[in-house]
Amino acid sequence: MKSGAMKFLVLLCLIVSSCSFKKTNQTLKGHEELYSEPDRPSLVRLSQNERRVVIASTNDGHGDFLPKRIEFLDKYTNGKQDILVGGTNTVGEYFKVLREVYGDILLVDSGDIFSSAQDTQRVMKFYKEKNYDAITVGLRDFNIQVPTKIGSNTKLFQETAKSSEVPILLSNLYELKTARQIEWAGTKSHLIKEINGIKIGVIGLIPDDIVTQTPVQNRVGLYVENILQASLKQARLLRSLGADIIVALTHQSLDCSTKLAEEMKLPPLKVNFDSRRKDVCDLSSPLGEYLERLPHGLIDIVIAGRNKYKIANLINNTVVMAAMSDGKGFSFSEIVFDLDTKKINFDKTLIHQPVYFCQEFFKETNDCFTEDETVQHDKRIPAKFLGQKITPELDLVSPSTTKKTPFETYKKISEYGADVAYLPKSSGETQLILIKLSGSQMAQLMEEDFNKNQKKNWIPNPFTVTNQELYLKISGKDILLNNEYSILTDLESIQLHHALIKKVTDKHSVVFMHESWKSNNEDKIQSIVAAPAR
């Protein structure tokens, strides 16, 4: 009896302990830390012959590093709410904390990194500043429109790679002319990085469906090798070079949320799942078929993309990760490697749920997830990640009320010789006006708008707030009171801003033709704005 009782107690302890280590948000009402990791982690204890390696990734950034003002309806207050997510400074804060807690990490991006042919240098600067180790390109990158003077997306990638300080991995891309893997400056077929004595090999695989998803002229002169064949070839090479862990970046999707969401009667985005459950992912997709056909132990981690929902799963002993698109979040895993067996210890490896780049939290949920109708969202608290507060400097906010992309606005500023733009809610056809102001007038106007919460209307962002003090800068330089500056604005905006109306004279302004942000229009408007009453 004593033996039987003891076995029962041991079994009970095992059951209780296994439950205590699981964090589940699969409940119909409320949730906790759904898309955040606010508490300092209790690191899994390692043996003398084990090493921890943290791999973090982003995907589908689309060159958009502005904060997103996410608007939603709060059913408790029956009113609109919004919250800020992402932004260059916020992204930097999260990765800074990740490195402070875990030390050196591998940071990568799996593709769809550009929004246009004109913003490639700005995108590469972002990846350099955030200390990415490697990136690759996705299908959308092959589909962006390229100016005639550049010629093709092939030429665009080649020119971009030349000046890139972050390696662009193109492991299955060949030049038809030479029948060899491309050897452009700034590109590599693979990368090896050592962390905690563990060598990590990284490859970047262009998806097989590039042939059906992109025009042939966008990949002129290129041949894309099948990703399974490329994986076999590159993995053998990396193992021969001493790689202990192999990571594949590939811009392909996988649905691991729908089945579980239907089963639990939850929205797919609200599902947090056990990463080791085997029956939740739809493996009929191209990525699923690739994972099914991979030889056991060939590729250890796959960073995916092009995904509607998150991925944080273990499939056939391959860790698969993907996070939110448009710069809203990132994925990370703690990989535990056994030096004796030369294999990953999956019992100790942690595949974290993707994390939003929250600027603040809803107090009730301890995160910034908006798609939960069961909670109130009116009370806010500072965002935290791994036990540290997230306190980014002020970022320019991407307006949620306009369809203009940031690049379209920057392009117009440059074309019209303006230093900064004031274009709130402007869309469609409108008359553009360039107004010249002294530095003191510019500063007075900006400070007025800042105090009226109109700072989001200024592009590029001239505001910096440090220790509750406001600093005004244009292109990172102080505004000099005696210098002359130019504001690009539009007819609708100027009629709503009294301070600007006063400056619309032949002396202070230049009036351009009536035109659209999307296309030029030959019509000219003779009258501008009626002189203000004196």
Structure tokens at 288: 């699923």
Question: d(Cα 252, Cα 209) in Å, to the nearest integer?
Answer: 9
Residues 112-126 have pLDDT tens digits of: 999 888 889 889 999
Q: Decide: 81 and 71 in contact? Cβ < 8 Å.
A: yes
Task: Provide the pLDDT for residue 409.
Answer: 54
pLDDT, mean over the chain = 81
Structure-model confidence comparison of residues 350 and 445, the more confident one: 350
Task: Provide the pLDDT for residue 528.
Answer: 30
If DSSP codes are grouped into helix, strand and coil, which group holds residue 320? strand
Lowest model confidence (mean pLDDT) among 37-51, 326-340, 466-480: 466-480
CB contact set of 2 (below 8 Å; sequence gap of 6+): none
Residue 524 has pLDDT above 60, yes or no: no
CB contact set of 353 (below 8 Å; sequence gap of 6+): 34, 35, 272, 310, 312
Task: Provide the pLDDT for residue 513.
Answer: 46
Q: Decide: 348 and 331 in contact? Cβ < 8 Å.
A: no
Question: d(Cα 341, Cα 480) in Å, to the nearest integer?
Answer: 64
The domain defined by 32-389 folds into Purple Acid Phosphatase; chain A, domain 2 (3.60.21)
Task: Provide the pLDDT for residue 411.
Answer: 57
Structure-model confidence comparison of residues 337 and 144, the more confident one: 337
Beta strands in 5-78 (DSSP E): 50-58, 68-74
Residues 409-452 have pLDDT tens digits of: 555 676 678 888 887 654 444 567 788 888 888 888 888 888 77
Question: d(Cα 447, Cα 148) in Å, to the nearest integer?
Answer: 42
Within 10 angstroms of residue 277's Cβ, the number of other Cβ atoms is: 13
Residues 66-98 have pLDDT tens digits of: 788 888 888 877 778 888 899 888 999 999 999
CB contact set of 102 (below 8 Å; sequence gap of 6+): 52, 54, 334
Residues 184-229 have pLDDT tens digits of: 999 999 999 999 999 999 999 999 988 888 888 888 889 999 999 9
Question: d(Cα 137, Cα 159) in Å, to the nearest integer?
Answer: 14
Structure-model confidence comparison of residues 116 and 282, the more confident one: 282
The domain defined by 406-516 folds into 5'-nucleotidase;  domain 2 (3.90.780)
Structure tokens at 192: 């090896």
* In the chain, domain spans: 32-389, 406-516
Task: Provide the pLDDT for residue 403.
Answer: 38
Task: Provide the pLDDT for residue 108.
Answer: 98
Task: Provide the pLDDT for residue 414.
Answer: 67
